[in-house]
Chains A and B, each alone.
Chain A
Amino acid sequence: MARARKSPRRQKLEALVLAPINWLEERSGLVGAVKYFLFRRVAPESNWFHTLGSATLTAFLVQLVTGVILAMYYKPAPDEAYASIQKITNELTLGWLVRGMHRWGASVFIILLFLHMGRVFLFGAYKYPRELNWLIGVILLTLALAEGLTGYLLPWDQTAYWATVVAININANAPIVGPFLGDFLRGGAEIGEDTLARFYSLHMLVIPGGLISLITLHVYLVIRLGVTEPPWTRGAGGYDFVEDGRGPARRGLVAPRPRGNGSMGSPTRTEVER
C-alpha cells in the first residue's frame, strides 16, 4: 500500500455507495453493460457531427415524455378535442410549455433526423457492414413522418381538419391501393370522429411502439458495429475497423490522400513490392 490510506469514514461511505451498485451488477450485469455502452472505443477523430444521432434520440425522448403528459389532458373526440387543446394552452398551469415543447419539438425531431441522415450519407457510414442500420433508419424516418401526419389532426382546428382532408386524399391517390388506403385512414368513406380516434391511436400507441422497437435495434447495431471514422481521417488508409475484430469496413465517400501501389515504376519488372 504505497498510496495514502483512506480514512475509515471515507471507506465506510464508499462501501455504502458501492453496495447497491455491486448488488445490481452481481445479479444482472447491467452496470457493466452501461459502462460498456458509455465508455466504448470510438473512432479517434469522431467529432461533433457524430452527436447528431444522440441529439435525434434526445428529441424523440422529449416527444415521448411531453406526449404522455399531454395525453392526460387531451380528449380525442371532435366535439371536445379543440376545447381541450385550448384548455391545455391557455388555462392549465405550464400546459402552454409542455404543448409548446411537443409541437416545436416535433419539427426539431424531423430536422435532426435529416441532419443525422446527411451525416451518415456524407461520411459513407451506410456502407458495409452498416447497410442494415441505414435501412432501419429509413423506416424510422418514415415512421417519424407518419407521427407528424397523425399528430397534425389532433388539435382539430381548421388547419388540422383541412390539412388532414388533403393529406388523406393524397394517400388515396396512390395507384391501386389508394382507394383502400384512403378509406382505411378515414375509418370510412367520410372524415369524422372515427378518423380522429384512429389518428390518436396511431399517433400515441402504434407508431411510437414501432419507433421505440426500431430505435432500440438501431442503437444496438451502432454499439455492435462501432462508429465510422470521418472521411478525412489519416492513417487507416481508407479502412476503419469494427470493434469486435470482424474486419475492416470502407470509410467515407472522400479519399483524402491518393494512394499508389507503393512501388516506384521500373522498366525491368512488373511485380509490385510488398
Chain B
Amino acid sequence: MADELERPGGEPVEHEAEPHLPAPTIWPFAFAAGITLLLIGLIVNWLLAAIGGAVAVIFGFLWIRDATREVRRPVAEPEPAEPVSEVVAEEEEEAEEEPERYPRSVFLELSTLGIGAAIGGLVTLPAIGFMVAPAFVDQGYDDVDLGPLTNFPANQWVTATFVSAADEPPDVGRRTTFVRNNGLANGVPSITIISNRCVHMGCPTQPGGLLQRPQEVNTESGAVRLIVTQGLSGFTCPCHGGAYDTEGNRTAGPPVRALDRYQYSIRNGNLILGKPYSVSHVTGEGAEAEVHAYKLADPGQHVDGPEQVFYPPKFWIP
C-alpha cells in the first residue's frame, strides 16, 4: 500500500490519512428489491405489497445495522484494543468520582445561547405560523344560489357555471357543475349535482352531449350560466383521459374514485348549492341512486379501500 499512498512527487503520506469508508454491504440491493416489490404490490396485489414491505423492513434494518456498526461500536483492532478500553474506563471512573462542575463561564455561554434561541423563536414562530395557518383556518364552501328550479327541466342535464368564491378576482373563483333534476322522489325533489373537477388530478371534465344555447341567470350569488346538455353519455377529462358515466362512476382512465358531488337545498323555489363531498362509487341511477359519500378529498386520493390510510381526512374543512 505504501507505494500507492505516495504523492506524484514521491513524498510519503502519513498512515492516518487512509480514507475512512464504511465496509461494503449488499443489503441495499435487497432493500431496493423490497421497495420495488412493495410499489408493484400497491398496484397489483396487497399480499405482494405486504411481502415487499416486510423484505424492505428486514433488509433496511440489516443495512442500517451494517452502516452504523462503527459508530455504535468503535473499531477495536486486536492489538491496541485493550489498553484503549482501559484508558476509557479509567477516565469514566474519574469522571464519576469527581462531581461535574458548572463554572460561571459555562453558565454565561449557555444562557447567551438560550436567550438567543428564545429571541430567534419569538421572531420566527409567528412568521412561520402566518405562512402556514391561513391556509387551514376559515376554510370551507359558501352556499351558492343557482336560480329558480324551473330552469332545470326534469331529467335533463344542465351545465351550470357559477361564482364559488366571491372574494377572488373575476373568473378565478368560477366553478362548474353538472346538474340533473330527477323529478320527485317520495314527494321530495331529487337532484344530482356532480362537480366537473376530475378526481384524477383536478382538470375540468367535459360533458359528452349536445350543448344548447347558454342562458344567463342573475342570482344573489352573482351571474350563473346554464347550458342544457342533451343526450349526455358521460364525462371525459382532456388532461389524462379519465372517463365517467352519467352518475360519475369511473369507466376508464386513471381516476381512483367517482366524481365529487354537491349537497343542495331548495329555498324559495331556488336551487341552492351546498358543500361539495367526495364519492367512492354510486350504485343505481337517478333518484334511486345510492351514493357512497365521504368527506371532500383532493383529486387522486382514495376515500375507501386500504389506500385511504394514506390520506387522512381534512379536519380543517367543516
Contact = CB atoms under 8 A, between A and B. Distances in A.
B5 A248 contact: yes
A178 B310 contact: yes
A170 interface: yes
B299 A169 contact: yes
Nearest to B313: A179
A186 interface: yes
B2 interface: yes
A78 B172 contact: yes
The 5 closest A-B pairs by CB, nearest first: A247-B17, A175-B310, A172-B298, A79-B169, A166-B201
A267 interface: no
A128 B170 contact: no
B300 A187 contact: no
Contacts of B168: 78, 192-193
B266 interface: no
B201 A179 contact: no
B165 A192 contact: yes
21 contacts: A78-B168, A78-B171, A78-B172, A79-B172, A169-B299, A170-B300, A173-B300, A173-B301, A183-B136, A183-B314, A188-B134, A189-B141, A189-B296, A189-B317, A190-B173, A194-B134, A237-B4, A241-B7, A247-B13, A248-B19, A262-B3
A59 B20 CA distance: 35
Given A172-B300, A247-B13, A237 B19 contact: no
Nearest to A175: B310
Nearest to B140: A189
Nearest to A44: B8
Nearest to B21: A128
B139 interface: yes
Given A239-B5, A248-B5, A182 B298 contact: yes
Interface in A223-242: 235-239, 241
B47 to A, nearest CB: 20
Nearest to B15: A247
A9 interface: no
Interface residues of B, number: 46
Given A166-B203, A169-B298, A192-B172, A246 B4 contact: no
Given A166-B239, A169-B299, 9 more contacts: A169-B201, A169-B202, A173-B298, A176-B312, A179-B311, A188-B134, A193-B169, A246-B17, A248-B13
Contacts of B301: 172-173, 178-179
B150 to A, nearest CB: 30
B64 to A, nearest CB: 17
B135 A250 contact: no
Nearest to A164: B202
Interface string B276-318: 0000000000000000000011111100000000111110110
B116 to A, nearest CB: 20
B164 A190 contact: yes
Contact of B132 (A78, A184, A186): A184
Q: Is the interface of A mostly helix, strand, loop or mixed?
A: loop
B79 interface: no
Interface in B198-246: 201-203, 239
B17 A189 contact: no
B97 interface: no
Interface in A196-245: 235-239, 241
Interface string A143-187: 000000000000000000010011011101101101110111011
Contacts of B3: 237, 262, 274
A259 interface: yes
A184 B298 contact: no
Given A78-B169, A188-B139, A248-B17, A176 B310 contact: yes
Contacts of B93: none
A192 B135 contact: no
B18 A247 contact: yes
A187 B169 CA distance: 15
Contact of A128 (B19, B135, B173): B19
Contacts of B7: 241
A249 interface: yes
A165 to B, nearest CB: 5
A187 B135 contact: yes
A53 interface: no
Given A189-B139, A248-B19, A169 B132 contact: no
Contacts of A110: none
Among B13, B14, B135, which residue has the most Cβ atoms of chain A within 10 A? B135
Contacts of A241: 7, 13
B9 to A, nearest CB: 10
B8 A165 contact: no
A11 B79 CA distance: 67
Contact of A183 (B135, B140, B164, B202): B135
A112 to B, nearest CB: 29
Contacts of B298: 169, 172-173, 178-179, 182
Contacts of A129: 19
Candidate in A129, A170, A187, A189 with the most chain B CB atoms within 10 angstroms: A189
A239 B4 contact: yes
Most buried by A among B14, B19, B140: B19
A274 B312 contact: no
A179 B312 contact: yes
A79 B172 CA distance: 8
A237 to B, nearest CB: 5
